[in-house]
Amino acid sequence: MKRYLAELVGTFVLVFGGCGAAVLAGGKIGFVGVAFAFGFSLLAMVYTIGPVSGCHINPAVTLGLLLSGKFEARYVPGYVVAQIAGGIIAAGVLLIVAGGTSAGYDPSAAGFAANGYGAHSAGGYSLLAAFVAEVVLTFFLVFTVLGSTDVRAPVGFAGIPIGIVLVLIHLVGIPVTNTSVNPARSIGPALFVGGWALGQLWLFIVAPLIGAAVASGLYGMVRAEPSIPARVAEAALPSEQRERRR
């Protein structure tokens, strides 16, 4: 149960921190500021809940680790439910904060950091462009997670490349789709926006899962040694790494 609670809290922090920056401060900090808000939120959670749950806080990451043999299938349903719940709760709390001004806040009119394409893309990008971007950018994220938690990677530093790559992903993806790469991040805001956001939500579930599967397959081709669970790899001591290589 602790691991599921950790995933819920971690996803809450990611969605509230990243989407909150976009909704409450986007006009002042711009795309770059929002990108760093998402990256810093993930970086902080890797070191905070990583020892408890591995800090997936993203169904696509959970799928990638599962397909790579670094995560047990019996935990997947609980992780995904906790992640989605965390995203929904974060969006609900953010809406309360956003509506706390005299002018109020209408999520369906303002967009509420929901992901979209076509008329709902910041740059007017098409469905195809959005789908390809989400697959490729999720690939970046999951490939980085798999590599940085490999037994041969520097121990204890996994959060740094993972956080950095999420910043990069948002710098590229915000103009296209507002950047999802995480179904749980997309589901929360979409439920409160309704209408077009729910109609386009399928893309931000399907594309990240495809990107995760591609990352798992390609990483399996490039790594030379058997993988171990991400949480174990992050906690391993140098002496333990040497032992595993024997």
Mean pLDDT computed over every residue of the chain:
91
For residue range 215-239, list pLDDT tens digits in order.
Answer: 999 998 888 665 555 555 545 545 4
pTM assigned to the model: 0.89
Helix (H, G, I), strand (E, B) or coil at 109: helix
Domains in the chain, start-ordered, CATH in brackets? 2-245 (1.20.1080.10)
For residue 154, give the DSSP letter.
P
pLDDT of residue 230: 52
pLDDT of residue 149: 85
Helices (H), 99-182: 107-110, 127-148, 159-177
Q: Position 189: which residue type?
A: P
pLDDT of residue 217: 95
Task: List CB contacts of 81: < 8 A, sequence separation 6 or more.
Answer: 4
For residue range 191-203, list pLDDT tens digits in order.
Answer: 999 999 999 999 9
Q: Position 236: which residue type?
A: A
Residue 49 has pLDDT above 90, yes or no: yes
Q: Residues 116, 196: contact at Cβ < 8 Å?
A: yes
pLDDT of residue 102: 87
Rounded mean pLDDT of 47-72?
A: 94
For residue range 159-176, list pLDDT tens digits in order.
Answer: 899 999 999 999 999 999
What is the rounded CA–CA span in Å between residue 163 and residue 159?
6
User: 96 vs 67, 87, 129, 149, 188, CA distance in Å?
Assistant: 38, 14, 33, 37, 14
